[in-house]
Chains A and B, each alone.
Chain A
C-alpha cells in the first residue's frame, strides 16, 4: 500500500467516524426534542387547568389553551414546535410572560460558568492526585497511603453535592463567615458553589485514574518500556499516562454530564441565578413551556459533552476510529 493510499484510508476512517457520530447525535437530538415536546402531552389531565389552578375560569383556560396551540391536532403541534425551534421561538413562559428564549439567554451563562469552572477544578485536582497515588502505591506499596486515599475518595464521592453545599455553607458561611453563601456577585461568591460541585467528581475521577494507571502499569507494553531501561518519569509520562487517560476521559465526560445536572441542586442551595433554580421553580409553578425549554438546553448540553468525549477519545487512542468501524 502506498503512502497516499494509507493517508486516504486514514481520512476515510475519520470521515466514517464523523458521519457515524453525527448520525448518532442527530438521532439523540431528535429523541430529545420529541421527548421535550411530549412533556406537555404526557401529563395526565389538562396541563393548562393544572397550571392555572381550580379557581381559573373556563374562559381563561380555553384562551390559554388556544394561545398554546393545544387545540390543534397533535401532528400540527409537533410541526409547529419543530418550526419554532428552527427560528429560535420556544414559546412564552406561562408565569412571567417573557419569551422562553429570553429567560434561557439570561440564565444559561451563570450555569455554564459554574459547570465549566467546577469541571476544570475537578480535572486539575484529580489527574495529578490519581497518578501520584497510583505510582506511590503500585505493587502493594504504602498500604496506609492507599487506605487513606481510598477511604477519603469513597466518603467524598458518597456525599451528594447539595449536602456538601449545605455543609460548606455552614462551615465557611455561618461559622467562619469567610465567604458569601448566596448569589452570584464577585469572585468570592464562586468559591463555595464550585467546590460543592467539584469535590465529589474529583474524588471519583482520582480513584478511577489510580485504578486505571495501576492496570496499565501491569500491561505488557509497560514491561517493554521498562526493558528499554527508560527513566521512570519517561515510563510514566509517555507509556502509562496516555493509556490511562482514555478511561479517565470517558469517565470525565460522564462526570461533566452529571455536573450539568448537579448544578440544579447546587444552584438551589446558593440561590444561584442559573437554569437550575429556574427549572425547579417552573416545575413547581407548572410553567410547562419554560420546563420544555430548559430540558432541551440541559439535554443538548449533555449530548455536546458526549460528542466532545468521543472526539477526544478518537484523538487520544489511534485505534479507536478503526476499532469502531
Chain B
C-alpha cells in the first residue's frame, strides 16, 4: 500500500502535481505572515494602476498591491475549499455508508434521496443552499459542502455496494462479524483508493466553485478577499489594467489544476498495475511439418512486451481433421488459436517460419476475403462475443455483404438459412432479435452459424463450451462434429478439458508454457501418453471411473508463468522425473515413426504418477 502511494511521486505527472500542491499549501500558510502589510497598505497616489516594476500586477481602486493580495488570498481560498471538501466528504460518507448500516428500508430511502440530489449540478445546489445560509463566506462554505456531498455519497454507495457483494464480506458475515466491523475492516479499506482520488479532485473543484461564488458576490464579503473576490473586482476594470483580473485568474487555474492533476496521478498509479518487464527467452525451433497441408504452422511465436507466451509451436492440419489443443492457463493455447486466425491484438508480435492456410501465406497481407469466408471462429464467452446493439441476423448478414457481394435482403436470407442450419428454431424470428434475447447455448450456435456464412475449410473454436452447461455443451459439440462430417471441415478445438477434446478430436496437442509438449492420437491419450505432464493431467482430473478410495494424483507446484520460466524444461519444477539434464536444457519436440511427437528427456521411462 505505502509502496503504491510512493509510486504516485515517482511518476513525472504525480511528482509535479505533488510539488504544486505542496507549494500551494506552503504559500497558504506563509503568505498571510509575509505579505499582509503589503496587501492592505493603501496608497491613494497610485489608484487602479497597471502592472509596473513595483506592483507586478498593478494596484486596485484603493491603491493596494494586487500581486500581494493574490498571494495572501491563497490562504483563505485554500482553507475554504478544503473545509467545504471536508464537509462534503463527511456528509457524503455518512449518507453513502448508511445503506450498509441501517436497515434495508431506511437504506433505500437514503439512496433515493441521494439519487435525486445527485441529478442536480453542484453549482445549482450551492446556489440553493447559499440562499438559505445567506450571502457570505460561512454560507457559501456550507452551501458548497452540501453540494459536494450527494456526488460523494453516490460514489461511496456504489463502491461500497460492490465490495459488500464480494465473497469475503459474505464469509465475514457468515462467521458472525458485526456490521460496523464489516464496514471498517472489510469494506472501507478496499474502497479507500477511489474515495481518496475523488476527494482530491473534489477539493480542486471546490476551489474553483468557491472562486465562482465569490466572483458572483455570493461568497467572501469585503473586507475579506479570496481569489474569486479579487477576480470579480478586477473584471470591471479589465480594459484599464487586465493584470488585476488575470493574476487571480491564473492563481485559481494553477491551484485547481494542481489538485486535479494530483487526483489524476493518484488514479493512474492506484488504478493500474503494469506487468513486469522480462527478457524474452529463445528456444530451438520444432521440426518442420509436411507442407502440402491445408493449415501449416511452423515455429509460431507470439510475443508481448516482456513475455513470449507462445514459443515455437508447429503443427499441420488437413481438410476434415479435428485437432485439439489442451493446456492450463498460461500454456499459450488460446494465443496460438488467435495467431493462426490473425487476430492477436496489435500490442502482440506474431512471428512464424511458416503460417499458411489453403496455400496462402498468412504472414503477408490481411487476406480478408480468404479468412472471412474460409476460416470460422468460435469464441469462449457467448455472452460477450456478439455486438449487443445489433440484431443477430444483421451480424451474420454482414459477412455475406462484405465477402460474397450479396445485397442486404439476400444476405439476411442466407443468415436465416444458416441459423436454421445450426438448429435454431424459428430462425426468421430469431434473426430479428438482439443477442441478449438468446440463451448461452443458442448464442454459441449462432456464432457457429456466423462461421458458416461462407464455406469454411477450418473452424477454430477457442473453449467453445467452457461457459456452457454440460447438457448444452454436448449439443454444441455434436453440432460441430456434424458440420465437420457433412462438409469435410477441419476443426481446431482449444480446451482446458481433456475429456472434451478426447470426445471430439482425432489428435491432441498438449501445450505447456508456450510449447507443444506432446502430440498424439486422442485414442491413445489414456493408454500411450509419454510426457509426464500429459499423464499427470489425466490422472489429476477425476472422471466417472476414478477410484473413490484413493486420493487423486497431484501435480505439485503451480502452472508455469510465461513471464518467469525456469531454464531447461518448463515442467521440470513440477515433474517427478526431473533430473539435472531437465533443469539445464529444454528438450526438443521429437517425432517417432508413427508421427507421435513428445518433448521430454524421459519420454521412454514408464512412470507411476505420484499419488
Interface on A for B, CB 8 Å cutoff? Answer: 3, 6, 27-28, 31, 35, 39, 42-44, 138-141, 154-155, 157-160, 162-163, 166-167, 169-170, 174, 218-231, 234, 238-239, 242-243, 257-258, 260-262, 264-265, 268-269, 279-280, 283-284, 288, 291, 295, 298-299, 302-303, 306, 316-319, 322
Contacts and interface: CB of A to CB of B under 8 A. Distances in A.
Given A160-B256, A162-B215, A269 B131 contact: no
A205 B447 CA distance: 34
Contact of A299 (B124, B256, B341): B124
Contact of B257 (A158, A231, A291): A158
A227 B341 contact: yes
16 contacts: A139-B346, A158-B256, A163-B211, A163-B253, A166-B238, A170-B238, A222-B387, A229-B368, A229-B371, A230-B398, A234-B402, A239-B387, A242-B390, A258-B123, A302-B119, A319-B436
A226 B132 contact: no
Contacts of B216: 264-265, 268, 280
B343 interface: yes
B492 to A, nearest CB: 14
Given A3-B429, A170-B246, A243-B388, A283 B135 contact: yes
Given A43-B132, A160-B212, A228-B450, A141 B346 contact: yes
Contacts of B239: 174
Interface residues of B, number: 69
Contacts of A295: 124, 127-128, 131
B249 A257 contact: no
A286 B430 CA distance: 63
Contacts of B252: 160, 163
Contacts of B260: 154, 157-158
Contacts of A221: 384-388
A211 to B, nearest CB: 12
B416 to A, nearest CB: 14
Nearest to B434: A318
Given A219-B384, A257-B120, 12 more contacts: A27-B112, A160-B256, A218-B345, A229-B366, A231-B368, A257-B119, A264-B123, A264-B216, A284-B218, A306-B119, A318-B389, A318-B434
A166 B218 contact: no
B121 A279 contact: no
B235 A280 contact: no
B245 interface: yes
Contacts of B132: 39, 42-43
A304 to B, nearest CB: 11
A223 B128 contact: no
B217 interface: yes
Contact of A261 (B121, B131, B218, B264): B121
A303 B218 contact: no
Contacts of A43: 131-132, 134
Contacts of A139: 345-347
Contacts of A265: 123, 212, 215-216
A259 to B, nearest CB: 8
Give the 9 A-B residue pairs with the shortest CB-CB distance, closest first: A229-B372, A139-B346, A261-B121, A261-B123, A220-B384, A227-B377, A258-B121, A242-B389, A318-B434
A280 B256 contact: no
Nearest to A260: B121
Interface in B436-453: 436, 447, 450
A229 B127 CA distance: 55
B208 interface: yes
Interface string B251-262: 011001100110
B136 to A, nearest CB: 11
A159 B369 contact: no
Nearest to A283: B131
Contact of B235 (A166, A226, A316): A166
A29 B121 CA distance: 15
Contacts of B570: none
Contacts of B208: 158, 160, 163
Interface in B332-384: 341, 343, 345-347, 366-369, 371-372, 377, 379, 381, 384
B46 interface: no
Given A224-B387, A268-B216, A163 B249 contact: yes
B307 interface: no
Nearest to A227: B377
B242 A174 contact: yes
Chain B interface helix/strand/loop/mixed:
helix
A295 B211 CA distance: 21
- Most chain A CB inside 10 Å of its own CB: which residue of B131, B239, B345, B346: B131
B238 A229 contact: no
Contacts of A42: 132
Contact of B131 (A39, A166, A226, A243): A39
Nearest to A222: B387
Contacts of A220: 379, 381, 384-385
Contacts of A223: 343, 379, 385
B249 A28 contact: no
A64 B422 CA distance: 80
A319 B388 contact: yes
A170 B434 contact: no
Contact of B212 (A6, A162, A238): A162
Contacts of B398: 228, 230, 234, 238
B402 A230 contact: yes
Given A158-B256, A160-B208, A318-B436, A284 B217 contact: yes
Nearest to B394: A238
B238 A303 contact: no
Nearest to A305: B119
B122 A243 contact: no
B411 to A, nearest CB: 12
Contacts of A317: 388-389
Nearest to A216: B387
A289 to B, nearest CB: 12
Given A229-B366, A317-B389, A158 B253 contact: yes
B475 interface: no
B544 interface: no
Contacts of B343: 223, 226-227
A317 B390 CA distance: 9
Given A223-B343, A284-B217, A319-B388, A166 B379 contact: no
Contacts of B212: 160, 162, 265
B204 interface: yes
Nearest to B204: A158
B116 A27 contact: yes
A228 B235 CA distance: 60
Nearest to A41: B132
B119 A303 contact: yes
A238 B238 CA distance: 50
B231 interface: yes
A261 B450 contact: no
B326 interface: no
A57 B131 CA distance: 24
Nearest to A323: B436
Nearest to B123: A261
Contacts of A242: 387, 389-390
Interface string B194-234: 00000000001000110110011110000000000001000
Contacts of B434: 318-319
Interface string B384-406: 11111110000000110011000
A137 B379 CA distance: 26
- Most chain A CB inside 10 Å of its own CB: which residue of B130, B242, B260: B242
Contact of B249 (A44, A138, A167, A225): A167
B217 A280 contact: yes
A141 B345 CA distance: 12
Interface in B83-136: 112, 116, 119-124, 127-128, 130-132, 134-135
Contacts of A322: 436
Nearest to B118: A254
A22 to B, nearest CB: 15
Contact of A229 (B135, B256, B403): B403
